[in-house]
């Protein structure tokens, strides 16, 4: 009997992983694999709601697999897989399309957002995306789904769809809880500290594979605040730019905010910004090296995602069979 609770999370390989994802959720996942039975996947099916360059997508998915491992996810202790390798996602996704309502899908902020950004490609997949995401989750019957606030609405609609389905057919799906991590920083853009660090604004975003000199340049240019005090003090309301850098420095070095304020007492921002850059360079150096090493070892990477897909399929298909049976589909 497996006593551990189950947890599942995915990241869309629609862009390179960045520091916000790393210092936010990703860095804490290796601790979670001790406590939970974890599934981590590359949500490649989701990326095509927006047009992708096929070669770039393939490279990003493989890089993301390598980065998960390089960040400390031991493939022996958790299940790492590529979403499109487990057909049950698309299969349950279709079923849940028929249990997700037009009205509730229309209210999704991410749909409204993406539809306004890609006016020439408001495709049906973009609209029904939450049903596929619900399938991703419900197939594994997880207790918890760790997500950032931007994905909370999607976990809520997943619960609504699951409750609707269970209401008709009995207890088919476990109703998952969104898990908003207690630890884990919310990293803001380096050139606009009022918005979250995001790949859609690359100048303020620091990608995990960025070269040391580019990292240093981005930190030297990072926006600090226009207050007259010009001292390194953590005050997110008054000094969002500096506070964001303090947060990054704290996460990278393990120092407390107090220690950091003391360290740069009376020194202004000129010393502080490059120090943050260097700390980040040092934090990312081993991850970058390990990612490169893994990417060069195609056979190993392949063995990881194949074994992952096999493990994931076992669980996913069990749920899918149960769903098909409830629906009245004739068994094969």
Question: Residue 148: which residues within 8 A CB-CB, separation 6 or more?
Answer: 24, 25, 180
Beta carbon of residue 138, minimum distance to ligand TRP (angstroms, whole number)? 10
Q: Which is nearer to ligand TRP, 134 or 260 (CB)?
A: 134
Report in angstroms how near the CB of residue 41 gets to ligand TRP at its nearest: 8
Tell me: does residue 10 bind ligand TRP (CB under 6 A). yes
Contact between 38 and ligand TRP per CB under 6 A = no
Closer to ligand TRP by CB, 155 or 287: give it.
155
Residue 239 bears catalytic tag: no
CB of 130 to ligand TRP, least distance (A): 9
In angstroms, rounded to a whole number, what is the distance separating the alpha carbons of residues 170 and 163?
Answer: 9
Stretch that binds ligand TRP, among 4-12, 118-126, 238-246, 278-286 (CB under 6 A): 4-12
Long-range pairs for 304-309 at CB < 8 Å and ≥24 separation? 304/65, 304/69, 304/75, 304/80, 305/65, 305/80, 305/81, 305/82, 305/85, 306/85, 307/75, 308/41, 308/75, 308/79, 308/80, 308/81, 308/82, 308/85, 309/81, 309/82, 309/85, 309/86
Any contact of residue 71 with ligand TRP (CB under 6 A)? Answer: no
User: Looking at 95, 145, 246, 260, which residue binds ligand TRP (CB under 6 A)?
Assistant: 145
Site map for ligand TRP, 46-65, x if CB under 6 A?
x-------------------
Quickly list H helices, the chain: 19-23, 29-35, 44-47, 54-70, 88-97, 102-106, 109-117, 124-138, 149-169, 212-220, 240-253, 257-263, 268-296, 298-327
Residue 20 in contact with residue 148, Cβ under 8 Å? no
Q: How far is the CB of 254 from ligand TRP (least distance, A)?
A: 27
Tell me whether residue 196 is one of the annotated catalytic residues: yes
Tokens of 117: 């950004």
Cβ nearer to ligand TRP, comparing 141 with 224: 141
Task: Specify the residue, 6 or 12, whose C-beta has the smaller distance to ligand TRP.
Answer: 12
Which positions are catalytic? Answer: 114, 196, 199
Q: Which residues bind ligand TRP (CB under 6 A)?
A: 8-12, 43, 46, 133, 136-137, 145, 147, 151, 154
């Amino acid at each position: 009997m497996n006593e551990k609770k189950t947890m599942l999370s995915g990241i869309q390989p629609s862009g390179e992983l960045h520091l916000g994802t790393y210092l936010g959720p990703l860095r804490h996942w290796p601790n979670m694999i001790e406590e939970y039975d974890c599934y981590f996947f590359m949500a490649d099916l989701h990326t095509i709601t927006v047009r992708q360059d096929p070669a770039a997508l393939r490279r990003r998915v493989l890089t993301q697999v390598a980065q998960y491992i390089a960040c400390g996810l031991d493939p022996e202790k958790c299940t790492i897989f590529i979403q499109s390798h487990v057909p049950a996602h698309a299969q349950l996704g279709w079923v849940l399309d028929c249990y997700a309502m037009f009205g509730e899908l229309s209210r999704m902020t991410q749909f409204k957002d993406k539809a306004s950004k890609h006016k020439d490609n408001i495709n049906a997949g973009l609209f029904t995306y939450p049903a596929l995401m619900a399938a991703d989750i419900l197939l594994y019957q997880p207790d918890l789904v760790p997500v950032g606030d931007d994905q909370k609405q999607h976990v809520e609609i997943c619960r609504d769809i699951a409750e609707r389905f269970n209401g008709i057919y009995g207890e088919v799906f476990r109703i998952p809880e969104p898990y908003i991590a207690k630890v884990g920083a919310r990293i803001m853009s380096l050139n606009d500290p009022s918005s979250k660090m995001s790949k859609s604004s690359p100048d303020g975003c620091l990608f995990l594979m960025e070269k040391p000199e580019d990292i240093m340049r981005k930190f030297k240019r990072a926006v600090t605040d226009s207050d007259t005090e010009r001292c390194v003090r953590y005050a997110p309301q008054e000094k969002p730019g500096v506070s964001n850098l303090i947060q990054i420095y704290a996460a990278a070095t393990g120092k407390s905010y107090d220690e950091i304020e003391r360290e740069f007492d009376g020194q202004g921002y000129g010393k502080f910004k490059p120090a943050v850059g260097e700390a980040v360079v040092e934090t990312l150096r081993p991850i970058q090296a390990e990612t490169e090493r893994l990417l060069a070892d195609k056979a190993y990477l392949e063995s990881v995602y194949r074994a992952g897909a096999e493990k994931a399929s076992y669980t996913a298909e069990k749920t899918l069979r149960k769903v098909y049976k409830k629906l009245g589909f004739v068994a094969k």
